[in-house]
Structure 1
Amino acid sequence: MKEKFLLILAIFAPFFAFSQEVTKEPSTADKINEWFKGIAKPVSDIVFYQIPLDISEKIKGIPIVLIILVLGAIFFTIYFKGANFTLIKTAIKLIKGDYDDVDSQTPEGEAPKGEKAEGEVSHFQALTAALSATVGLGNIGGVAIAIALGGPGATFWMIIAGFLGMASKFVECTLGVKYRDVDADGSVYGGPMYYLTKGLKEKGFGKLGKGLGFFFAIMCIGGSFGGGNMFQANQAASQFTKLLGLAPKEYPNASLYFGIIMAVLVGIVIIGGIKRIGAVTEKVVPFMAGIYVLAALVILGMNFSAIPTAFGLIIEGAFNPSAAFGGFVGVLIVGFKRSAFSNEAGVGSAAIAHSAVKTNFPASEGIVALLEPFIDTVIICTMTALVLIITNAQYDLFTYGNLDADDNVIMNITGAHLGGVDITSEAFDAVIPHFSIILTIAVVLFAFSTMLSWSYYGLQAWKFVFGKSKGSDITYKIIFLIFVVIGSAATLGAVIDFSDAMIFAMVFPNIIGLIILSPKVRDELAKYKKAISKK
C-alpha cells in the first residue's frame, strides 16, 4: 500500500507543486506552466507519437494512438457484423425500459443471482452519467477547431468516426459489466482495470492483464485530475468571468471564488457516489444538451435553404485531394482526431460508469452504450458543424486553416484570436443576439457534469490501486475537489497536455484487452438476444 502511494505521489508531484504556488502568487502560474512543459512535452510526445507524414504545415504526421483507435473500431464493426447499426433499435427500447423485466432474469447456463438485477443505476442513468463525460466542450469547442483547421470536410470524417466508435463502446461496456465486482452492500466496481485483470487471466494472460490493468488505472487517475477536472473548471471559470466582465487584472480572484463555489457543488454530489451522480446527470445532461440542440435547430431552421449547400461543402471537402488544409488524408486525420477526443470511444472510460447498471446481462448495457457516440458525435457534433459552416458563409467570421501556433482562429474582420468555444459563441451570436449568455450557462453545466462523471472514473481507478476502504474514498474526493479550485484559478496549458496524454494512454491497454476478449462479448450478445427473443 505504501509503495503504491509513493508511486502515485511521484507521478503527480508536479501537480502538487503547482497547487502550492498558484494560490499564494497567481502571477507565477505562467512560469510554473513553462517549467512543467519540460515534463509534459516528453510524455505527450510519447503517447501522441506520429508516423511522419508531411501533409501540410499544420499536419506533420499520423498519431499512432489514433491509428489504433480507428483500426480497433473497424475490427469490432466487422467482427460483430455491424452491431453499431443493427442494434440501435434495441438500444432505444432498452433505455425506454421495454426489457427491464429481462434484466433481472438469470442468463441461461449460469447460477441464480437473486430476484433483483445486480447494479446501482438504471440503463438511462448509466447512459447519461457516461454521456455527461463525453458531451461537452468537445462538442462546442472541439468541433470549431476541427472545422477551422480542416475545413467543412472534417465533419464527414467526424461522422464516420462516430459510427465506428459505436462498436468500440459496445464492446468495452459489455466487458465492463461482465467482469465487475459487486460488494455485499451492492456497491459496484468496474471498468477496464477489472476486465483486463480478470478477463485476460481467464484467457491465460494473467501477468499481462495485471500489468495492463494497473497501467490503465494510473493513467485514469491522472486523467481525472487533469482533463476530466481542471480543464473543465478552467474553461467554465473563463467563460463565466468573461460573461460578467470580470477582467483578470481588475478582479484577480474572481476565478478562484468561482472554483470554490464549483468545488462545493461538485462535492455535494460526488459524496453521494454513483447513485447521486446518476440522479443528477439524468436531469442535467438532457437539459443542457436540449438547450444547445434547440438553439442549433433554430439557427438551422432559419437557414434551412443553406443546409444542402453546407452538406455539399462537407462532402466536397472530405474527398478533395488538393484541399488547402492537407488534402484528403489531412482532413481525415483532423476529423477522426476530434471525434476521438469528443466521444472517447476506445479509451475505456465510459465502461466504468456503465459497469454500475442494474442488469444480469452484460450485453444489454453494451447495446445501450453504443448510443453514446451516435448522440455525441453523429448528432450534436454534426449540428455544431452545420451552424459553423452556414454562419461563416454568411458573416465571414473566420478563415479556414488560418490558425496561430495555439490553434486559435484569427478572425477576418476584427483580427482577434479566438479559441474553440469562442468561435462557436461568435457563430451563435451572429444569428441569435446575446446567445453567448445561454451558451455560457451550457458550458458551465457541461463542465459540471463532466467533472461528476470523471470523479467517479478516477475514484474507481484509485480504489483499484489503493483498496476499497472508506479512507481511500474520502482521500480521493478531497484531492479531486482541491483540483477543481486549482483548475479554475490557474493557467493549465502544460498540465492539460500531460493529463490528456494520460487519458489517451488508456487506449493502448484497453484496445489490446478488447480484441483478446471479443469472443466473450460475442457469447454475451448471443445470450441476451436469446433472452429478449422470448418476450
Structure 2
Amino acid sequence: MEIDRIIDAAVEPVSSAVSSVIFYSVPLLGLEIKLVLVWLVVAALFFTAYFGFVNVRCLVHGVNVLRGKFDDHTTDGQINRFQALMTSLSGTVGLGNIAGVAVAISVGGPGAAFWMAVMGILGMSTKFIEVTLGVKYRQHGSKRHPEAISGGPMYYLRAAFDQLHKPRLGRFMAGIFALCCIGGTIGAGGLFQANQAYQQALVVTGGENGFLAERGWLFGVFMALLVGLVIIGGIKWIAAVASSIVPVMAITYIMASFVVIGVHYAAIPEAIQTIFEMALYPEAGIGALMGALLMGVQRATFSNEAGLGSSAIAHSAVKTDVPVSQGMVGMLGPFIDTVVICMVTALVIVISGAYVEGGGIEGVELTSRAFASGISWFPYVLSVTVFLFAYSTMISWSYYGLKCATYLFGEYDIVENIYKVFFCIFIVIGSATQLSNIILFTDSMVFAMAIPNIIGLYMLAPEIKKDLRTYLQNIKLK
C-alpha cells in the first residue's frame, strides 16, 4: 500500500492539471457544466439535423444491413459486420450500464434516465459519421501483414487537414488523438476494469476474510492471461470472442432485469410515468430539470462513447467496400447500449423503488439493491456480469490502443508485442493497487479524444452527406 501512495502522490499534480483542463466546467443555475460534454452534445445535435435524422429514418435499414441483406463477402476486410458491432459494443457495454445508470438516478432523479435515452438516440448520428469515415479512410499499413487493416480518427484526421493543404497540422491532431487513446486504453480499459472486476470478485468470495483478500495480484495475473490469450491473435480473435461474449452477457443481464420487472409488474405504469414527469415537469423546477438533463447526458456519454472515435477503429476492419453501409450498423451501438440496456437498468431501479432508500451518490450498490428486491442471489449474477463486462471491455480497448501505437511507431511486430505486454502488465497493476489519480488521468485522456475527433467530423461532414445521399439513392434503385 505504501507503493500505491507513493505512485498516487507523484501522479496527483499532473492528473489534477490535466483533468482540470479536460473536465473544465462553468456554473449555471447552481450546477457545474463540463464543457467537454457540451462539445459532445452540440456535435450530436448538429449531426442529427445535418444528416436529416439518419438515426431515426435509417434505423430499420441498419438492422437489415447487420443481418447481411446487402453483403458482398468478396470485399476487402478482416471481420464481418456482426463481429465489428460486437467488438465495438464490448468496449461500451460495461460498468456504465450497471453503475452509471445508478449514479445518474441517485443524483439527477428518475428523470435522468429519460435524458440518457435521448442522448443515446442523438449519439447514433455521431457514431454514424465516425464509423463511416473510419471505413472510408482505412489503410493496409503493414508490409509484413498486407491483409491487416488500420483505421480510425488518426487516418481521417490526416485526410481532413490534407484537403486544406495543412498536412503538418493533420499529423499533429492525429498524433494527439493517438497519444490520448493509448493513455485511455491502458487506464480506463486496463487499470480501471481490472480493479472493478477484482473488487466485485472480492465481495462474493468472502470480502476481507476471503481467499482473494490481499491477493489482487493473483486475480490480475489470471485476468491478464485470459486477455493475453485473445489479443495475441489480433482483431480476428478479439472479434470472435466479443461476438460470443457480448450477446450472452447482454441477454443474461436483460433476462435478470425482466425477472425483477415481472416481480413488480403492478408498478410498471407508475414507474414509467415517474420517469417522464421528473424528466419534463420536475416538482423542484428548472434547476431539477437541468440537473436531470445534465446527469443523463453525462452518463450516456460515458456509456456509449459516441464522439470519442474509438468505435471507428474496430469498425474499420469490416468486410465492405461501402463505408456508409457500415455507418448504418455502427449507429446501432448507442441504441443497444444506451436506449435498450441502460433503460432496462433504469426501469429496474425505479420500479423497485430502491433509489428512494439511498442517501447521496450511489453506483453499483444501488443497482444490486434494486435487483435483490426480485432476486436475492443477484450479487452472484452481478459478479459474473461485471467480470464479463470488464473482460470484454479490456480486449476491445486493447485493440484501440494497439492501432494507435502502430500508427505512432510503425506497423511492426515488435511494436505490437511490446504494447500487448505493457497492456497485460497494467491489468495486474490495476487489480493489485488503488491508483485513483492514474485512473483520473486516463479518464481525462479518453475524453480528450473527443476534441480532435469531432473537429475532424465537422470538417468531413459535407463529403459524408454526399456519400449518404448517393447510398440511399442506390438502395432505392435495387
TM-score range, shorter chain: over 0.9
1:398: which partner in 2?
A: 357
Quick check: 2:205–2:212 contact (8 Å CA) kept in 1?
no
Q: Distance in 1 between matches of 2:442 and 2:288?
A: 31
Q: 1:165 aligns with which of 113, 117, 123?
A: 123
1:274: which partner in 2?
A: 235
1:209 aligned to 2:180? Answer: no
Give how far 1:205 is off.
3.8
User: What is the correspondence of 1:461-480 to structure 2 with a 5 Å cutoff?
Assistant: 461-480=404-423
Q: Distance in 2 between matches of 1:500 and 1:248?
A: 32
Quick check: 1:121–1:358 contact (8 Å CA) kept in 2?
yes
1:61 aligned to 2:32? Answer: yes
1:341: which partner in 2?
A: 302
Quick check: 1:33–1:494 contact (8 Å CA) kept in 2?
yes
Give how far 1:254 is off.
2.2
What amino acid does structure 1 have at the position aligned with 2:357? F
Q: 2:454 aligns with which of 492, 511, 520?
A: 511
Q: Distance in 2 between matches of 1:325 and 1:487?
A: 41
Q: 1:43 aligns with which of 12, 18, 22?
A: 18
Give how far 1:127 is off.
0.1
1:487 aligned to 2:445? Answer: no
Q: 2:4 aligns with which of 19, 29, 32?
A: 29
Q: Which consecutive residues of structure 1, in runs of 5 or more, have no partner in the other structure? A: 1-25, 105-115, 410-419
Give how far 1:272 is off.
0.2
1:182: which partner in 2?
A: 140
What amino acid does structure 1 have at the position aligned with 2:163? E
Number of positions where the alignment pairs a residue of Structure 1 with one of Structure 2: 475
Give how far 1:305 is off.
2.3
1:446: which partner in 2?
A: 389
Q: How has the CA–CA distance of structure 1 residues 257 and 498 changed in structure 2, closer, same or farther, with 3 Å as cutoff? A: same
Quick check: 1:179–1:199 contact (8 Å CA) kept in 2?
no
Runs of 4 or more off by more than 4 Å in structure 1? Answer: 248-252
Quick check: 2:78–2:319 contact (8 Å CA) kept in 1?
yes
2:367: which partner in 1?
A: 424
Q: How has the CA–CA distance of structure 1 residues 522 and 203 changed in structure 2, closer, same or farther, with 3 Å as cutoff? A: farther
Q: Please give the secondary structure, in 2, of the residue aligned with 1:147.
A: helix
What amino acid does structure 2 have at the position aligned with 1:206? P
Q: 1:86 aligns with which of 35, 44, 57?
A: 57
Q: Distance in 2 between matches of 1:200 and 1:310?
A: 49
Q: Distance in 2 between matches of 1:143 and 1:460?
A: 30
2:195: which partner in 1?
A: 234
Q: Please give the secondary structure, in 2, of the residue aligned with 1:62.
A: strand
Q: Distance in 2 between matches of 1:423 and 1:491?
A: 22
Q: 1:153 aligns with which of 102, 111, 121?
A: 111
Q: How has the CA–CA distance of structure 1 residues 325 and 527 changed in structure 2, closer, same or farther, with 3 Å as cutoff? A: closer
Give how far 1:35 is off.
4.0
What amino acid does structure 2 have at the position aligned with 1:164? L
**Range with bigger deviation, 500-509 or 252-261:** 252-261
Q: How has the CA–CA distance of structure 1 residues 31 and 392 changed in structure 2, closer, same or farther, with 3 Å as cutoff? A: farther
Q: 1:316 aligns with which of 260, 273, 277?
A: 277
Q: Distance in 1 between matches of 2:357 and 2:249?
A: 27
2:315: which partner in 1?
A: 354
Q: Distance in 2 between matches of 1:43 and 1:322?
A: 38
Q: 1:52 aligns with which of 27, 35, 39?
A: 27
What amino acid does structure 1 have at the position aligned with 2:11? F
Give how far 1:253 is off.
3.5
What's the CA shift string for 1:481-523, capped at 9, x where partnerless? 0001001111032111110100000111111110110012112
What amino acid does structure 2 have at the position aligned with 1:141? A
Q: How has the CA–CA distance of structure 1 residues 474 and 325 changed in structure 2, closer, same or farther, with 3 Å as cutoff? A: farther
Q: Distance in 1 between matches of 2:286 and 2:229?
A: 46
What amino acid does structure 1 have at the position aligned with 2:322? F
Q: Please give the secondary structure, in 1, of the residue aligned with 2:208.
A: coil
Q: Distance in 2 between matches of 1:527 and 1:250?
A: 61
Q: 2:339 aligns with which of 361, 371, 378?
A: 378
Q: Distance in 2 between matches of 1:524 and 1:87?
A: 15
Quick check: 1:122–1:358 contact (8 Å CA) kept in 2?
yes
Give how far 1:246 is off.
4.0
Q: Which consecutive residues of structure 2, in runs of 5 or more, have no partner in the other structure? A: none
Q: How has the CA–CA distance of structure 1 residues 311 and 514 changed in structure 2, closer, same or farther, with 3 Å as cutoff? A: same
Higher helix share: 2
What's the CA shift string for 1:1-35, capped at 9, x where partnerless? xxxxxxxxxxxxxxxxxxxxxxxxx3442453244
Q: Distance in 2 between matches of 1:477 and 1:75?
A: 37
Quick check: 1:320–1:327 contact (8 Å CA) kept in 2?
no
Q: 1:75 aligns with which of 20, 39, 46?
A: 46
1:366 aligned to 2:327? Answer: yes
What amino acid does structure 2 have at the position aligned with 1:346? G
Q: Distance in 1 between matches of 2:283 and 2:368?
A: 30
What's the CA shift string for 1:391-422, capped at 9, x where partnerless? 125xx7633xx32xxx4x3xxxxxxxxxx122
Q: How has the CA–CA distance of structure 1 residues 128 and 349 changed in structure 2, closer, same or farther, with 3 Å as cutoff? A: same
Q: Distance in 2 between matches of 1:385 and 1:318?
A: 13
Q: How has the CA–CA distance of structure 1 residues 308 and 34 changed in structure 2, closer, same or farther, with 3 Å as cutoff? A: farther
**Range with bigger deviation, 492-501 or 282-291:** 492-501
What is the percent sequence identity of the aligned residues? Answer: 46
Q: Please give the secondary structure, in 2, of the residue aligned with 1:491.
A: coil
Q: Distance in 2 between matches of 1:485 and 1:33?
A: 17
Q: Distance in 1 between matches of 2:28 and 2:7?
A: 33
Q: Distance in 2 between matches of 1:248 and 1:95?
A: 48
Q: Please give the secondary structure, in 2, of the residue aligned with 1:51.
A: strand
Give how far 1:117 is off.
1.1
Q: Distance in 2 between matches of 1:315 and 1:245?
A: 40
Give how far 1:322 is off.
5.1
Give how far 1:325 is off.
10
Quick check: 2:212–2:219 contact (8 Å CA) kept in 1?
no
Q: How has the CA–CA distance of structure 1 residues 532 and 319 changed in structure 2, closer, same or farther, with 3 Å as cutoff? A: closer
Q: Distance in 2 between matches of 1:284 and 1:516?
A: 36
Give how far 1:528 is off.
2.8
Give how far 1:76 is off.
0.3
Give how far 1:196 is off.
0.2
1:244: which partner in 2?
A: 205
2:97: which partner in 1?
A: 139
Q: Distance in 1 between matches of 2:328 and 2:284?
A: 38
Q: Distance in 2 between matches of 1:472 and 1:148?
A: 44
Quick check: 1:391–1:397 contact (8 Å CA) kept in 2?
no
